[in-house]
Amino acid sequence: MASKITLCAVLFCFLLMFSSEMQITDAKYCGKPSKGWNGKCFPKKCNHWCKNKEHGAYYGSCYKGYCYCYYKC
């Protein structure tokens, strides 16, 4: 009986070790003010601008009234 409990405990430990090794991390993005945006910021337009006009930007959003483009850090 004790050997079954020991075996289960060892298997459980291995399972924990392997699950902690395989963590999935989210991509991190860093924001920079848009180089070419002028005027008041509108979220949809800013997003479209950053994706299409700013080289390498993944998306854009408004922050304190300014258009920020986000790139992978």
Q: What are the tokens at 56?
A: 């390498």
Q: What angle do CA 41, 68, 48 make, to 5 degrees?
A: 70
At 24-54, the pLDDT tens digits run: 557 799 999 999 998 999 999 999 999 999 9
DSSP, res 52: H
Classify the phi-psi angles of 64: left when phi > 0, otherwise alpha if psi is within -120 to 50, otherwise beta: left
Residue for token pair 């963590």: 23
Tell me if residue 31 falls in helix, strand or coil: strand
Q: Is pLDDT at 62 greater than 60 in this prediction?
A: yes
Instruction: Give dist(CA 17, CA 39) in Å, integer.
Output: 53
